[in-house]
Each structure stands twice: as structure tokens, then as C-alpha cells.
Amino acid sequence: MYDQREELCRIAQEVAARAVAAGADEVEVVAQAGAELSVEVRLGQPELIHEAGARGLGLRLFEGRRTAVTYTSDFREEALRDFIATSVALCRLSEPDELNQLPARHELAREPLPELELWDERAFTVDAAGALERAQAAEAAALSWSPKITNSDGASYSRVYRSSAFVSADRSGICFCGTSRGTYQSLVVKPLCDDADGKKRNGSYWTADRFLDRLLSPEEVGRRAAERTVRKLGAEKIATAEMPVVFDPDAGRALLGLLFSVVSGGAIYRQASYLCGREGSQVASPLVSVVDDPLILRGPGSRAFDGDGLPSRRNVVVEAGVLRCYLLDTYSARKLGRASNGCASRSVGGLPHPSPSNFILQPGPTDPARIVGEVERGLYVTELMGYGFNPVTGDFSRGAAGFLIERGELTRPVSEVTVSANFDDLLQRIDAVGNDLDRRSSMMVPTLRVARMTVAGR
């Protein structure tokens, strides 16, 4: 009952055929349908039950090398007719660009597509009542873990599922038709405690997976959230200095996201990345290897084909510190005069653009305790805040919170400081990579240590 792939495929094929009949040379249609359930509890009481199904249809069409991208959620016959006519008219407003065409047929993915196990029937055994119970159990575990936990910003459980169909067609008929479906659920707990100076301290922990049975238990999530909150009591600024900085995986994930933004084909052809022209050169410490791997079974970011309809493939982006490739979709690849490496993603309403699948900074040999243990005086960062990154120059400066490291131990909590360095230097200065890869999200990263950054505080 939840699997809508066949119906979406039929609608997408029909819209594609009608758009071609209306004058388009080539078209791509993405049709999606799915539903979300999310619940929140706070101090044991339900705060929110949010439940609904949603669908959407996106159309990219080409006519005389012009292009337009449009979307609608209205699937009624007369609405679709108007939608297609408007889309063709919009297309005529853009200006011709030789690169505006579908990928060549031989580049497109072919049946059988890899089965990546992204759908869990068991996900649906949790209804609104079951979701509330899980959130309540997790929050209760946090509240009872320590008397220092005095309040709660709540606990929430959410589940989404989605089916989608992707169809490309030209005047000779359907070029590619692929479908996919996936489930995903998550549980997060956010306890609070009161600090001596009247400040409040908040922390959180979360679990998420495509498969219900692979979530951590609510009790475990609650306990870890409480632990992470209480340890922040008494946080304060430290004096400005240069020092080694260790990033736990929650903070390191943000660094990996920035790395993606500067190897993305869109930034490269726009010359908006400091890594333009750096392929084949050392862009990070030899300890750093990064892959984008869409083919991991049950992976949060896995996909069988990309947003241009090309087959998914594993790309080694950084190998022992050397930049091996940029991540390209078809358009940016053509701009750069090369072939796509299958990294496009496509939302219903937008142009395809390079986007990470499972983007992984490969774990190293070192135990995270040792990474901290080797530091005489440094900062252990658990949270980053803000948007201080300039991809064109690599200048990086962000708000941070975490712990002071003294003689290899986390001694006291720190907040209201910034960590800064040029991102090029930051990556080159990574001198330890943990063996603790965090696989909860599609950005996977272990504990990292940067030999030297500027920490600004008092």
C-alpha cells in the first residue's frame, strides 16, 4: 500500500510523452510521492502529532537547446495540461546553450538497477502511538539519568517514506525510466540543565537509520543525550591562542560538508572554489582519504542512479591527501569539457546539480581516546555554529563549543569561542584520523585532529 512506484512511473511517462507532443525536443520528469509522520513529546506529554502524505512532479524540458524547470503538486488532468503548456512557454524565454541536452543514451543507467535495500516494511509497524511511546521512553531516560537535568526541549520521533520515478524521453520515445523507494526514521532527545550563572545548557543525541531495527534503543539515546548535556555545565570562554583542535564526528560532519562544496562541479566551473585547478595535487594531509559511494547497501545516501539518469558509481575524491576528482553532474562536466561521474541529484522543483551520496572520510587506525590523549593543551570541539566559510578563498571561521584538553584529558567545558584557519591549511594539518566512523548520516566522518588552529576567546 505504501509502494507507489508503478503509479508514479505511469504518470511520469505520460507527462513526458505529452511534453514532447507539446513541442519539447527532450524532457525529464521526476514524480515523487510519500508521507511523513513526526511526533514530539515534552516532559512526558505529547506536543505534536504531524501526519500527512505529499507528492510532486517536476519537469525539465529542452527545446532548441533552451531549458526550463517547473513543478506542480496538482495531478488533475486539466491542471497537468496547463502545467505542460506553461512549461513549454517558459522554456522559450531562456536562451540557447549548446550544453542544454539530455545525457547521451549510452551514458544512461540500464536495467537491472542495483538493489540497494533502502526500504524497510517494518518501518510502518510504528504508528503515531508507537512513535509517541518511543519519544517518551527516550526523554524519560534522559530526565532520570541525572538530577541535574532540570528541563527538556523535548524528544521527537519521525519517519518518512518516499517512492519516486524518473523518466527521460526525446522525440523517439522513452530514453530511461528508473524508480526508487526508501524509508528513514529518526529519534532525537534534547535535555536541558540550569547552570550556576543562570544560563541554560542544552545538549542532544540522535539515532537514525533506513531500517527500524538498526535504531539505538530509546533508553540509550536518552542516556547519551543526558550525558552530553550535563557535561556542559560551567562552560566558559578560554583565552585566545593557537592550539591543536580535535573535532568529534558531530562537528567533523560540518567540515566534510564544506569539503564537498569546494569539489562540486558547479563551484569549479564558476571558479568559485579555492580547489579550482588543484586536481592531482596535495589538498589534505596524507592521512585523509575521501570517497563518495552511492552503492552502499542500506546507506542513508545510497542511490541506484543519479539525478541525470546516469548509473551510480563510487568515486575516490581524495586519496592519501591528493585530490583525484571533482564531483560532477552532466552540465558541470560538459562545462569543464569532460564526462560526468554520476553525482547529480535532482529535487522535484530544481535543476540537477552535483550532490554527495554517502560522502565518507575514511576512518584511520587511531582510537579517539588516543587522539585526545596525545594533546598537551588543545580544544575538543563538539559543536560548530554559523556560516563562516568562503569557498572562493577557503577562509574558515566558525563559532565552537566543546572542552579544553589539558595533558591528554578533557578538563573543562568551553563555549563562546571561534575556531579559524584557511581550509586548505586545516585539511593539510590533519594529524590524526579516528577509527570511529559515524555512519548515522550520509556525511560519514570519524574523529579528526588538526595540529594547529586559531581559537579566539577572551
86 binds another protein (CB under 8 A): yes
Binding to another protein (CB under 8 A) within 217-246 occurs at: 235, 237, 240-242
447 binds another protein (CB under 8 A): no
Give how many residues touch another protein by CB under 8 A.
80
105 binds another protein (CB under 8 A): no
68 binds another protein (CB under 8 A): yes
Of 201, 210, 231, 303, which lies in the binding site for another protein, with binding defined by CB under 8 A? 201
359 near 444, Cβ under 8 Å?
yes
Per CB under 8 A, which region of 7-15, 312-320, 396-404, 441-449 contacts another protein? 396-404
Nearer to another protein, 220 or 279 (CB): 279
Of 17, 128, 174, 322, which lies in the binding site for another protein, with binding defined by CB under 8 A? 128
393 binds another protein (CB under 8 A): yes
389 binds another protein (CB under 8 A): yes
Question: Rounded to 5 degrees, what are φ and ψ at 439?
Answer: -100, 15
Cell numbers placing 249:
564526528
Of 9, 84, 91, 427, which lies in the binding site for another protein, with binding defined by CB under 8 A? 91
The residue assigned the cell 504518470 is 11
Nearer to another protein, 6 or 242 (CB): 242
The residue assigned the cell 530509546 is 218
Of 5, 148, 214, 270, which lies in the binding site for another protein, with binding defined by CB under 8 A? 270
Of 45, 144, 281, 411, which lies in the binding site for another protein, with binding defined by CB under 8 A? 45
Per CB under 8 A, which region of 91-99, 108-116, 247-255, 297-305 contacts another protein? 91-99
**3-class SS letters over the chain:** CCCCHHHHHHHHHHHHHHHHHCCCCEEEEEEEEEEEEEEEEECCEEEEEEEEEEEEEEEEEEECCEEEEEEECCCCHHHHHHHHHHHHHHHCCCCCCCCCCCCCHHHCCCCCCCCCCCCCHHHHHCCHHHHHHHHHHHHHHHHHHCCCEEEEEEEEEEEEEEEEEEEEEECCEEEEEEEEEEEEEEEEEEEEEECCCCCEEECCEEEEECCHHHCCCHHHHHHHHHHHHHCCCCCECCCCEEEEEEECHHHHHHHHHHHHHHHEHHHHHCCCCCCCCCCCCECCCCCCCEEECCCCCCCCCCCCECCCCCECCCEEEEECCEECCCECCHHHHHHCCCCCCCCEECCCCCCCEECCCCEEECCCCECHHHHHHCCCEEEEEEEEECCCECCCCCEEEEEEEEEEEECCEEEEEEEEEEEEEEHHHHHHCEEEEECCCECCCCEEECCEEEEEEEEECC
| CA geometry: angle 387, 389, 395, nearest 5 deg | 150
Of 164, 397, 441, 442, which lies in the binding site for another protein, with binding defined by CB under 8 A? 397
440 binds another protein (CB under 8 A): no
320 binds another protein (CB under 8 A): no
Nearer to another protein, 351 or 410 (CB): 351
Name the minimum Å distance from CB 399 to another protein: 4
Cell numbers placing 384:
560548530
Name the minimum Å distance from CB 71 to another protein: 4
Contact letters for another protein, residues 160-199 (x by CB under 8 A): --------------------------------x--x--xx
Among the listed residues 145, 150, 123, the one whose alpha carbon sits nearest the alpha carbon of residue 134: 123
Nearer to another protein, 291 or 401 (CB): 401
C-alpha–C-alpha distance, residues 179 and 165, integer Å? 4
Name the minimum Å distance from CB 47 to another protein: 6
Of 6, 21, 44, 48, which lies in the binding site for another protein, with binding defined by CB under 8 A? 48
Binding to another protein (CB under 8 A) within 414-433 occurs at: 415-422
Name the minimum Å distance from CB 253 to another protein: 16
Contact letters for another protein, residues 276-295 (x by CB under 8 A): x-------------------
349 binds another protein (CB under 8 A): yes
271 binds another protein (CB under 8 A): yes
C-alpha–C-alpha distance, residues 428 and 447, integer Å? 16
Of 223, 224, 398, 449, which lies in the binding site for another protein, with binding defined by CB under 8 A? 398
Of 85, 258, 316, 351, which lies in the binding site for another protein, with binding defined by CB under 8 A? 351
Per CB under 8 A, which region of 49-57, 205-213, 319-327, 430-438 contacts another protein? 49-57
72 binds another protein (CB under 8 A): yes
